[in-house]
């Protein structure tokens, strides 16, 4: 079933349907998000509001609507954030703010809901998705697409810079990685 996370009525209808057809939810994955990067300017105002409504308020509203079912289960809330929740670059301030907000809210929620509901926060880095295609600022969309193409490198590139590449491969139980050939 589909529901718009910015429309509480649709989320309530989805929760009712899950309750009726499945007996309730035991996992909620808050994965809806948009990344509308660009310079901070009045022209981007609609983009800012959309990111806040979807990335942050969407997760909060979906969790609020499904919370009673999750408490009964006991259940899990899984929030998809981003490494942008810890760092920000020029042109992604509002996107980063939504992710910082999601991170802080997730930590608070985790403390409130334990032990009946577990809250997990996942913060991926650059992932090859359709997100850059939604960017309305042309120069930023092109720069992000170029950056994403350049970042398709060895699977543990960040770990390698910290000297852990070999040990992480050893943990996988193989001497060579299929992606980076090391």
Average pLDDT, the chain: 80
120-132 mean pLDDT:
77
40-66 mean pLDDT:
95
Own/partner pairs, 127-135, CB within 8 angstroms, 24+ separation:
128/152, 131/33, 131/34, 131/35, 132/35, 134/34, 134/35, 134/36, 135/35, 135/36, 135/37, 135/38
Least confident segment among 77-86, 112-121, 143-152 = 143-152
Domains contained in the chain, CATH given: 8-151 (3.40.50.720), 155-182 (no CATH)
Q: Which of 123, 145, 8, 137 is nearest to 63 (CA)?
A: 8
SS3 135: coil
What's the pLDDT at 35? 85
φ/ψ of residue 64, rounded to 5: -60, -40
Query: Which residues are annotated as catalytic?
Result: 95
pLDDT in tens, 89-116: 888 899 999 999 999 999 999 999 999 9
* pTM metric for this prediction: 0.74
> Residues near 140 by Cβ (< 8 Å), separated by ≥ 6?
37, 38, 39, 91
Q: Where are the beta strands (DSSP E) in the chain?
A: 27-30, 75-80, 117-122
pLDDT in tens, 37-52: 888 889 889 999 999 9
What's the pLDDT at 77? 98
Q: Are 120 and 140 within 8 A, CB to CB? A: no
16-42 mean pLDDT:
93
∠ at Cα 143 (135, 148), nearest 5°?
90
């Amino acid at each position: 079933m589909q529901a718009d996370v910015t429309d509480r009525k649709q989320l309530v209808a989805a929760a009712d349907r899950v309750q009726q057809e499945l007996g309730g939810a035991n996992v909620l994955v808050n994965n809806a998000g948009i990344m509308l990067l660009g310079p901070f300017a009045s022209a981007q105002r609609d983009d800012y509001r959309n990111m806040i409504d979807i990335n942050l308020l969407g997760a909060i509203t979906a969790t609020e609507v499904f919370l009673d079912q999750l408490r009964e289960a006991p259940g899990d809330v899984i929030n998809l954030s981003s490494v942008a929740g810890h760092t920000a670059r020029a042109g992604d301030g509002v996107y980063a703010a939504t992710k910082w907000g999601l991170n802080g809210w997730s930590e608070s929620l985790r403390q409130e809901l334990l032990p009946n509901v577990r809250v997990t926060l996942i913060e991926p880095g650059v992932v090859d998705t359709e997100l850059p295609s939604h960017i309305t600022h042309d120069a930023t969309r092109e720069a992000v697409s170029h950056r994403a193409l350049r970042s398709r490198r060895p699977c543990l590139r960040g770990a390698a810079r910290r000297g852990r590449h070999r040990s992480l491969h050893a943990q996988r139980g193989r001497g060579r990685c299929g992606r980076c050939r090391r």
